[in-house]
């Protein structure tokens, strides 16, 4: 919950130029609805619905429940976030919602792209897509650091060398190849969206001798690249050297695609990378993460659409 609220506040500050306290009932309610909706959409019945929509169409319960929850989320976002017309000052645009509302006034046909429904959908998308993803990756990061203390120590010594006790900034990343490699490996190994989002062919496609007619549902499995043994020699292990050359320089891998690929790949990729670097280095600068004595650390992922680690108890030992 702490990681979720911290990452949520980043999106809140973009859309609303505001931050909530971690106990604020509005923020807690938002997180609970988003989380509940994500959980609901990954129940076995919902998964069956995505895979076999024409069969499952007859089973209206799950469809109605998901639609009802989505309405609750939309209504809540509309009331809380997007209803800012009264306070709008065209000469003082401070956030994404302000800019959208100004555009709505400027364009001739706002109902085309800049409708109220689109604004609500846009803000909802940012929350749904940007919350659990970043915080789940950070949960993997902390578990993997507990599991591999020698890797954690190497990251901490690079932090000491490059950042010292200053606040980490994105510009530090270039000078920190080991930490960069560890963060990439956390994303690769964590593989938090194994099935990616479903896509549809917009025209007939010939793929390796198979015809995929226009309108075919396609699930481009990210696991198939992130765990590809041709690209990652120890694909089933946590091995930061996947992203390092023999001199310790960071190397890019074309099979590293946790954000997917192509025109519809994650729009939040750059933001997410900045968040991961800053949260991860700030946390390890100030704490060493350890399992409680006698605890066993299990790297089996949770079931679901976003696959986080299983819950573990964790000790955060201050470093000063």
Neighbours of 66 (CB within 10 A): 17
In the three-class reduction of DSSP (H, G, I as helix; E, B as strand; rest coil), residue 270 is classed as helix
Binding residue (CB under 6 A) for ligand HEM from 28, 38, 102, 197: 197
Q: Which two tokens stand for residue 251?
A: 């190397």
Closer of 12 and 46 to ligand HEM (Cβ):
12
Dihedrals φ, ψ of 270, to 5°?
Answer: -65, -40
217 is a site residue for ligand HEM (CB under 6 A): no
82 is a site residue for ligand HEM (CB under 6 A): no
Q: Which two tokens stand for residue 71?
A: 């309405």
Closer of 271 and 291 to ligand HEM (Cβ):
271
Cα separation, 38 vs 95, in Å, equals 26
192 is a site residue for ligand HEM (CB under 6 A): yes
277 is a site residue for ligand HEM (CB under 6 A): no
What string marks each residue from 222 to 261 as x (binds ligand HEM by CB under 6 A) or -? ------------------------------------xxx-
178 is a site residue for ligand HEM (CB under 6 A): no
DSSP type of residue 21: -
11 is a site residue for ligand HEM (CB under 6 A): yes
Residues 6+ apart with CB under 8 A from 261: none
CB neighbour class for 243 (10 Å; exposed up to 12, middle 13-18, buried from 19) = buried
Residues in contact with ligand HEM, counted by CB under 6 A, come to a total of 22
Cα separation, 150 vs 182, in Å, equals 12
219 is a site residue for ligand HEM (CB under 6 A): no
- Minimum separation from the CB atom of position 193 to ligand HEM (A): 4
Closer of 90 and 219 to ligand HEM (Cβ):
219
Residues 6+ apart with CB under 8 A from 86: none
**What residues from 106 to 165 belong to the interface with ligand HEM (CB under 6 A)?**
125-126, 129-130, 133-134, 137
Q: Which two tokens stand for residue 225?
A: 């690249």
306 is a site residue for ligand HEM (CB under 6 A): no
Residues 6+ apart with CB under 8 A from 97: 15, 16, 81, 82, 84, 119, 123
Say if residue 266 carries a ligand binding annotation. yes
Binding-site residue numbers are 266
Which residues of this protein are in contact with ligand HEM, per CB under 6 A?
A: 11, 125-126, 129-130, 133-134, 137, 192-193, 196-197, 258-260, 264-268, 271-272
Binding-site residue numbers for heme are 266
């Amino acid at each position: 919950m702490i990681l979720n609220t911290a990452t949520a506040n980043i999106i809140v500050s973009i859309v609303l130029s505001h931050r909530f306290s971690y106990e604020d009932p509005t923020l807690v309610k938002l997180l609970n609805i988003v989380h509940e909706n994500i959980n609901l959409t990954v129940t076995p019945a919902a998964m069956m619905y995505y895979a076999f929509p024409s069969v499952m169409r007859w089973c209206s319960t799950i469809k109605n429940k998901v639609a009802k929850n989505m309405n609750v989320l939309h209504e809540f976002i509309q009331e809380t976030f997007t209803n800012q017309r009264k306070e709008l000052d065209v000469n003082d645009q401070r956030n994404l919602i302000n800019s959208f509302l100004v555009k709505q006034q400027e364009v001739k046909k706002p109902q085309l792209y800049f409708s109220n429904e689109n604004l609500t959908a846009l803000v909802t998308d940012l929350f749904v897509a940007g919350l659990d993803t970043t915080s789940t990756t950070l949960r993997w990061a902390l578990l993997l650091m507990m599991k591999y203390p020698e890797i954690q120590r190497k990251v901490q010594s690079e932090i000491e060398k490059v950042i010292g006790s200053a606040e980490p900034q994105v510009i530090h990343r270039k000078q920190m190849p080991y930490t960069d490699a560890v963060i990439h490996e956390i994303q690769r190994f964590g593989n938090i969206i194994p099935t990616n989002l479903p896509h549809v062919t917009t025209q007939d496609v010939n793929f390796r001798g198979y015809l995929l007619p226009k309108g075919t549902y396609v699930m481009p499995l990210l696991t198939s690249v992130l765990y590809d043994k041709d690209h990652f020699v120890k694909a089933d292990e946590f091995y930061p050297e996947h992203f390092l050359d023999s001199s310790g320089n960071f190397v890019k891998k074309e099979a590293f695609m946790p954000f997917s690929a192509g025109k519809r790949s994650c729009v939040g990729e750059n933001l997410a990378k900045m968040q991961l670097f800053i949260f991860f280095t700030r946390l390890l600068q100030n704490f060493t993460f350890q399992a409680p004595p006698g605890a066993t650390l299990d790297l089996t992922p949770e079931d679901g659409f976003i696959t986080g680690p299983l819950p573990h108890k964790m000790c955060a030992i201050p470093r000063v």
